[in-house]
Structures are given as structure tokens and as C-alpha cells.
Amino acid sequence: MTALIASLNKTFGATITDYESLHRWSLAHTDRFWRHLWDVCGVRGDPGGTVLTDGADMLKARFFPEARINYAENLLRPRAADAEAIVFRAEDGRTRRFTYRKLCDAVSRLKQALQAAGVEKGDRVAAYMPNCPETIIAMLATTSLGAVFASASPDFGENGAVDRLGQITPKVLITVDGYAYAGKTISLLARVKAIAARLTNLEKVIVAPFLKDGPAILRDMPHTVWWDDAVAPFPPGRLSFERVPFNHPLFILFSSGTTGVPKCIVHGHGGTLLQHLKEHRYHADIKPGDRVFYFTTCGWMMWNWLVTALASEATLLLFDGSPFHPDANALWAYVAAEKCTFFGTSPKFLDAVKKSGLRPGDANDLSALRTIVSTGAPLIPASYDFIYDAVKRDVHLASISGGTDIVSAFIQAAPILPVRRGELQCAGLGMDVRVFDDAGNTVVGAKGELVCLNPLPSMPLGFLNDKDGSRFRATYFERFPGVWTHGDWAERTPTGGFLVTGRSDATLNPGGVRIGTAEIYRQVEALPDVQEALAIAQEWDNDVRVVLFVVLKSGVDLTDALVKTIKASIKDGASPRHVPAKVIAVPELPRTKSGKLVELAVREVVHGRPVQNIEALANPGALDAFKNLKALTS
């Protein structure tokens, strides 16, 4: 980031001295900023002569309308043949390594197999895959052709997979014979057969050998071929790439689907690449040769974010399985063994490690680790304390916030800014991120809606099957016309940082005062007896009241004394208005496949209303504990 400041000052005669002035410059000189990023990041392609059209209108704005580019070409930019591109570790410790040459050869062979199957520019290829090298190979082969890639993780059941992949009508489905989790192996072929039968226009299924059951098991699956057999006729050759317009579809990502059938969000080649290069190289400080890990599945946008790190000539460290198998040190041992420089995870994981009693920095050599990034939910202040005490004192801990909607983050890390306990550091470069009150006024030091006032390259191209764009406009631009409203309840701090306190649609409103659920979780989850918590607003006496559900540590009971402790911690740490009317213990909390709490589903169950698209949940059985609760009738 310091080098970026120096190059902008030299090239344009700017007078940038710090992050604040850099951010201001990136907003005041949008064209120059994004064009300069193209150059200094060495983007391969033709940028054309125009950077931005209709920049004053977020819905009409178009970046690099004359450009020709290919995302895969930029991820496979030339580097030493023996440079390590991918390391994969399964939860049983099996490790596989791909050099740059081995990766390119595998992409070349699968690309030819896809072409032989009739895949052309604009066609869709779907992956129902774990986080393994074959998924990245499938993505690169697909996108090198100008075809469109979408992925879902294999923990989605049949209906959950069809809800997503069925909407995009893929020509080819790429999958595995099974996967492993928490010491168990799960065979997928019966499920894959059922899914494939429900995908219209599907012409071929390619199965990679994750469990290595062998090709004989495919005999009763029509149009299905083993991966090795699919690529066998094609020797590796020199890769070529179909350069496409900047806004040509690249990925289809899926919303969580907890309020209905998931939305299919379409992202483009150029916008995804340029936004990720900005975030990786400057906000995350990823350099050539760095070793980058993010704990994610292929059903979460952080997988797409992770794999783009190849464009910064980093080595990807992949892991698939339970992060706590065989114990809480599983990922930290991997990080240490592979000299990981960038470690990405979720607040839930960090909190679980803390509560396990593990001190990762004492148990492992983490000397190579420079950056820890957390996203998916707000990172509570106690987790900052834990990282700097029990993991590493000289690490850049960054909580970031964005979403599938922009396949990136609005609120970012900055290596040249202080880390403040409990705060997200800054708005991303080139992004006019603010907090609005109900009247649409910018506020600082008060809570409101997180918004963005200017266009950015990674805005989605739209929703699939939304021909007139009405669903897209209603989702992001209805609350404040012409302004992107992200759906997060947030606060801008006087130091320029942010607090994110939950999703806007999950905020609590007792007595007309809006409360973010994360404000409650920060206080409760710092208590040693509480594993995690979930708060909802229950309709009660012509108003709503706050109800808090807690998962307690093993062997701990919800006594009157513990309830008093919970309420006191919320009152002292947040406010009296945050104190729940009821505190109820439950065995587990429902989550999406990417690990996010689903307050809305619990709210519907408590009120006796049906939960839409229950297939979106990782543990739908957890909802049973919230039905017909006697404690909520008085």
C-alpha cells in the first residue's frame, strides 16, 4: 500500500500521505485510480480507451466498456514451472502438491475435455465439489473458454443443490465420488445421480476420485465419466484463453437462500479480477511467494476470493474437512507446517478455538504468519484479545465485511492503519462507504444502514432470470434510490473505522429502538460458560421483546445465577435496552452452510410460521428446539 501511494504521487503529482488521503484520492479520481490499478497489477488484457461510463448512476455505470480480458489468463500468468501453486491437505493429513506446470497441464487437459463435451463461451459448468485442487482446475478450464462457472459444496443435500444448480441449467456437472468430514466418509454418487436427473439440459457428468472407489461404480449413471477417463485422450498443451468483454459473465454465486430459493448473482471477469487484486495486494498485503489460506467451502464467496490470489503469484493452501479433526489444533498445525503467511477464517472458528483452551502460538511455530483475516460475522473484542495473547503479538488482525453480492468487501483491512479492538479498519479503496440514518443522512458515531454511494467494478452484472432487473433494483436500490444499500446495520466511528452489528433485517426493535444482534453477542460470548448465542425479537403485547438463546459449555446448566450474569453483562456492556426479556438454553443454533447464524429462521419457528428453503441450513434439525417453547408463552 505504501508503494501504491508512492506510484500515485509520482504518476499523477498527487500529495497522498496516509490511508485517509489515499482513500479520498481514489474517490475523487475514479478513472485514474482503477486504470492505475490495472497497470501496476500487471493485468493481462486490453483495457481499451475508456475506464468508466455513466459513473454518476450506479445502475447504469460500466467499467472498461471496451476492454478484452480473461480471468483465468490472469490467474495463470507466467511464473517458474516449479513454483508451488497449490497445496491441498485433507483432514486425515493426506497432502497433495501442484506446481505451476502441473496445474497448467491439468487445466489444459480438462479444458480440452470440456470442449469435446461441447462447452463454449457463455455455457455454464457447475461444480458440486469439496475444496480440493480439482475444483480450481475445473474453474480455470471453464473460465479460460469464456464459459460460466458456479459451485456448490457437497454438504448441500439433493434439494439444496438443485435449488442452486437447477436454476443455471449447466451443460456439464463436475463432482466427486464422496468427501470426508470429522472422520467420516460420505459417499455422494447416489445423490449425484438424483441431482443430475433433475438438471435440465445437462449433457455430461465428470466424477473426480476423492474417495477412490473406482470407475466401475459409474455404470448405472448415464452420460457420466470418470475424471481420468475424460482427460485421457488429451495430452497437455499450451494454454490459450478466450478474451471476453470486461463484463462477460464469469461466476454465478448464490445467496444464502434462508428466505426463499437462492438468488443467482452473476459476476463478471474484469470486475471480479480487478477488485480482488486491489484487496489482495493492497488491503491484504499479499506478495508473490506468499502462502495464502482461507477456511472455506466451495459454497461460500470466500472460495472465489481465495483462488484469485493466484493472480498475485501466491501459493494457495487448501483444506477440506472439519477444522476440529482430530482436535482444535488441526488448522494451526497446517499453517505452521506450510509456513502460511495469510490465514483467513470466521469469528465462530476463533471463538471455538479460544473456548477449547488451545493457545495456538504456544503449540506451533507461526513465525511466517503476517495476517489473520476474519469475516462472515462481526469479530467480538474478546477475539482480538485472544489473537494477540494466544496466537501472535505481531500479526495484522483484520475483520472485514462484504458479501456474495459484490464477491468482495466494503469494509477492509489496511496494513498502514492501527488495529483497534473490536473495529473494522476502513472503507475499501475506491468505495464511498457510509452509514445512513433513516432519512438518508450520513452519520458518524450512530448506527444505521451500511451504504455505498459510488459504482465499483465488482458490482454484480445482475440476477439470473431477472430480465427487467426489477428484483436486482428492489434488493439493493429500493431503500435509498440510487444508493447501494447492503443490508448491514453498522456504525462509522470517529477514527474512520466501522462497527457492524448485524443484518438490517435481523435487527431488534423493542420499543421502537433498533438494536443490532451482534451488540448482544459481543457481551454474552465473552462469558466463559456460554459457547454462542442467538437473539430474536418475539412479537409480544403489541410490541416485540428480545429473546436470547444460548448454547452453554458442556456440563453447565442455565441457573438463575447464570441468567443474572448474562443480563448484567449485556446491560453493562451494551445498554439496558439490549437486555433480553427471556434467556433460554438450546443444544445448538441453526446456521447456513457457510456458518452464519440464521436469526430469521428461528424467529419464524418461534412464531409458528414455516421456514422457507430449509435446505439452505447446515443443521436444519437444530430448529426443532425452538418449537412450542413454553417459556415464551408468558
Mean of per-residue pLDDT scores for the chain = 93
Burial of 95 (0-12, 13-18, 19+ CB in 10 A): exposed
pLDDT band, residue 106 (cuts 50/70/90):
very high
pLDDT, tens digit, 9 for 90 and up, residues 5-31: 999 999 999 999 999 999 999 999 999
Helix (H) or strand (E) holding 3: helix 2-12
Q: For residues 395 and 370, is the Cβ–Cβ distance under 8 A?
A: yes
Predicted confidence at residue 542, as pLDDT, reads 74
Strand pairing partners for 559?
none
Strand pairing partners for 435?
450
Q: Which residues contact 85 (CB under 8 A, 6 or more apart)?
A: 98, 99, 100, 102, 103, 310, 315, 316
Q: Computed from CA positions of residues 471, 475, 476, 479, in that sequence, does the dihedral angle turn out positive or negative?
A: positive
Q: In the numeric block, which cell numbers belong to residue 547?
A: 429473546
pLDDT, tens digit, 9 for 90 and up, residues 195-229: 999 999 999 999 998 887 555 556 677 789 999 99
pLDDT band, residue 280 (cuts 50/70/90):
very high
| Selection from 253, 282, 63, 294 nearest residue 139 by Cα | 253
Lowest mean per-residue pLDDT among 119-128, 178-187, 276-285, 572-581: 572-581
pLDDT, tens digit, 9 for 90 and up, residues 602-618: 998 999 988 877 877 88
Q: For residues 435 and 451, is the Cβ–Cβ distance under 8 A?
A: yes
Question: What's the pTM?
Answer: 0.87
pLDDT of 261 > 80? The answer is no
Q: For the chain, what percent of residues have pLDDT higher than 90?
A: 80
pLDDT of 575 > 90? The answer is no
pLDDT band, residue 514 (cuts 50/70/90):
low
Phi-psi region of 482 (alpha: psi -120 to 50; beta: other; left: phi over 0): left
Q: Which residues contact 39 (CB under 8 A, 6 or more apart)?
A: none
Predicted confidence at residue 104, as pLDDT, reads 98
Cα separation, 357 vs 199, in Å, equals 46
Let me know how long the chain is: 634
Q: For residues 60 and 257, is the Cβ–Cβ distance under 8 A?
A: no
How far are the Cα atoms of 1, 27, 270, 410, 442 from residue 9, in angstroms, in the given order?
Answer: 12, 15, 25, 25, 30
Cα separation, 509 vs 506, in Å, equals 9
**Cis amide prior to 209 (ω within 30 degrees):** no
pLDDT band, residue 259 (cuts 50/70/90):
low
Predicted confidence at residue 217, as pLDDT, reads 59
Main-chain phi, psi angles of 162, to 5 degrees = -70, -35
C-alpha R_g of the chain:
24
CATH architecture of the domain with range 96-245: 3-Layer(aba) Sandwich (3.40)
The DSSP secondary structure of 397-437, one letter per residue, reads EEE-EEETTTTEEEEE--TTS---TT-B-EEPTT--EEEE-
Cα separation, 8 vs 604, in Å, equals 52
Helix axes of 189-197 and 158-168: crossing angle, nearest 10 degrees: 40
pLDDT of 588 > 80? The answer is yes
Q: Which residues contact 597 (CB under 8 A, 6 or more apart)?
A: 377, 534, 589, 590, 591
pLDDT of 342 > 90? The answer is yes
Of residues 341 and 514, more confidence is placed in 341
| Selection from 405, 476, 455, 458 nearest residue 58 by Cα | 455
The DSSP secondary structure of 240-299, one letter per residue, reads ----EETTSEEEEEE---TTSSPPEEEEEHHHHHHHHHHIIIIIS---TT-EEEE---TT
Domain ranges of the chain: 1-40, 96-245, 421-506, 509-633
Of residues 255 and 149, more confidence is placed in 149
pLDDT of 600 > 90? The answer is no
Lowest mean per-residue pLDDT among 313-317, 424-428, 512-516: 512-516
DSSP state of 389: I
509-633 fold:
GMP Synthetase; Chain A, domain 3 (3.30.300)
Cα separation, 473 vs 493, in Å, equals 29
pLDDT of 258 > 60? The answer is no
Predicted confidence at residue 513, as pLDDT, reads 65
Across residues 493-498, what is the average pLDDT?
A: 95
Helices vs. strands in the chain: H and E counts, helices first: 19, 32
CATH class name, domain 421-506: mainly beta
Strand pairing partners for 149?
125, 251
pLDDT band, residue 576 (cuts 50/70/90):
confident
Q: For the chain, what percent of residues have pLDDT higher than 70?
A: 97
Q: For residues 99 and 85, is the Cβ–Cβ distance under 8 A?
A: yes
Q: Which residues contact 498 (CB under 8 A, 6 or more apart)?
A: 401, 411, 423, 424, 426, 427, 433, 435, 450, 490, 491, 492
Cα 13 to its chain centre, rounded Å, is 37
Neighbours of 573 (CB within 10 A): 15
Helix (H) or strand (E) holding 503: strand 498-503
Of residues 348 and 233, more confidence is placed in 233
Strand pairing partners for 96?
88
The DSSP secondary structure of 510-549, one letter per residue, reads GGG--B-HHHHHHHHTTSTTEEEEEEEEEEETTEEEEEEE
pLDDT band, residue 418 (cuts 50/70/90):
very high
> Which residue type sits at 630?
K
Q: In the numeric block, which cell numbers belong to residue 345?
A: 477464517
pLDDT band, residue 167 (cuts 50/70/90):
very high
pLDDT, tens digit, 9 for 90 and up, residues 560-571: 999 999 999 988
First to last CA, the chain: 57
| Selection from 222, 217, 210, 228 nearest residue 113 by Cα | 228
How far are the Cα atoms of 21, 143, 417 from residue 24, in angstroms, in the given order?
Answer: 5, 35, 15
pLDDT, tens digit, 9 for 90 and up, residues 29-76: 999 999 999 999 999 999 999 999 999 999 999 999 999 999 999 999
| Selection from 82, 88, 121 nearest residue 105 by Cα | 82
SS3 category, 449:
strand
Predicted confidence at residue 255, as pLDDT, reads 85
Cα separation, 577 vs 629, in Å, equals 23
